[in-house]
Amino acid sequence: MGALKARAVDRRADLDISAVPARQALLVLGMHRSGTSALTRVLGLCGAALPRHKMVAADSNALGFWEPQPIVDAHDRFLRAAGTDWEAIADYPASLFTSEPAAACRRSLADLAVREYGDAPLFILKDPRISRLMPLWRPVLDELGVAPRIVIVVRNPLEIAESLKLRDGWSEHRACIVWLRYLLTAERDTRDLPRCVIGYGQLMNDWRATVARLSDQLGIALPNIAGPGRSPAVEQEIDAFIRPDLRHHRHGADALFQRDDIADCVKQAYRCLSDAAETGTIDHAVLDRIAEMLDDAEETLERMTHSGARRVPVRKIQDVADTLTALMLAEIERANDVAERSQRLLSEMRGTWSWRFTKPLRALGRTAGRVMGKRV
């Protein structure tokens, strides 16, 4: 992963937020199904601008996603062109962000940001993919003269796994490993920026205290809940929005820590980031060790895949055995998922009128190929 080597503990006091920039963007980062939509809705009601063209609600999130659909589409196009997607387990290579397609994508994102947010002094940029695309976005925000303010949302990976199983059919192993990649990357790529770590449970249990802490740590003013613009009607609307039935999956931290079949690296990362949500400090050394362990496991798996297990030193496998097992299970499931989707797409394509219409042409092409082959 090439994790940044920084001070062992992240403290807000290290960053000067006393001078309020003319424009600020709240970047809400976190794994899919982490509660980023709920937090974005709350911050929007508090007075930060939401995008003009929002992703439509779905059965899996009936209360809305609150993210800019054109920007999400741009992210997906960029990742597809690079041969990857938001579900990828391996870290995106640094070269991805220095390529010409990345430069073209940045130009597109700058235009889209202007269309979606205009000249709003404080707006919310939310798409879980940005957790892994900060090197893409930072130059864009610099060009627009917008200061990024980071919010990292942390939720128990078991709860995320249940949600992703219901929505996409994912296993716990796959959900936990992808969750780990999202959080490690989001934390690594924002260490020099003003940021705040929020626990999903904190938001659901006491949104007022959570938003107040976020406002204080990031040095932002939310006009609808503080100062002369404070609106009791807005607070009542947020109270109605943040209700117990919004949280469909519940697991205590002990439920995760007591699971022998969940990789230790997942547990350690969740403990570290949960502590950060409580104390405001992040132990970089712990997360760097986890990142290195995950990268070593990925390298080992790649060598085993291409060269065979016999060519990988036994000690190397033993050192990352726990993480390697979880990674292998996740990668196998992802490969099977891709194969099943490809098969469904092929079946759908074969049922179309154009496929049936061109059947004689394809047969003629195969016959011509055989004839030409005999001539050769």
What CATH number does residue 96 fall under? 3.40.50
In a domain, 373, yes or no: no
- The answer to whether residue 350 sits within a structural domain is no
Domain holding 217, by residue range, is: 11-282
Phi, psi of 114 (to 5 degrees): -65, -40
- DSSP conformational letter for 356: H
The alpha carbon dihedral of 110, 114, 117, 119 has a sign of positive
Q: What percent of the chain has pLDDT over 70?
A: 75
Residue 260 lies in a domain: yes
Q: Cα separation of 376 and 370, whole Å?
A: 10
Structural domain includes residue 57: yes
- pLDDT for res 357: 56
Calpha distance 163→179 (Å, rounded): 12
Does a structural domain hold residue 349? no
- Tell me what pLDDT residue 13 has: 42
**pLDDT tens digit sequence for 124-183:** 999 999 999 999 999 999 999 999 999 999 999 999 999 888 888 888 889 999 999 999
Contact (CB, 8 A) for 136 and 143: no
43 located within any domain: yes
From the CB of residue 272, how many other CB atoms can be counted at a distance below 10 Å? 21
Give residue 38's pLDDT: 93
The number of folded domains in the chain is 1
Q: Is residue 77 situated within a structural domain?
A: yes
Q: What 3 state SS string does 121-184 have?
A: CEEEEECHHHHHCHHHHHHHHHHHCCEEEEEEEECCHHHHHHHHHHHHCCCHHHHHHHHHHHHH
Neighbours of 315 (CB within 10 A): 7
Ranges of the chain with pLDDT below 70 = 1-19, 58-64, 244-251, 253, 304-321, 338-339, 341-376
Angle, vertex CA 154, rays to CA 149 and CA 158, nearest 5:
160
Q: pTM of the prediction?
A: 0.81
Residue 316, Cβ density class (10 Å: 0-12 exposed, 13-18 middle, ≥19 buried): middle
Residue 243's pLDDT is what?
Answer: 77
Assigned domain for 361 exists: no
* Residue 264: Cβ within 10 Å count: 14
User: How confident is the model at residue 117, as a pLDDT?
Assistant: 98
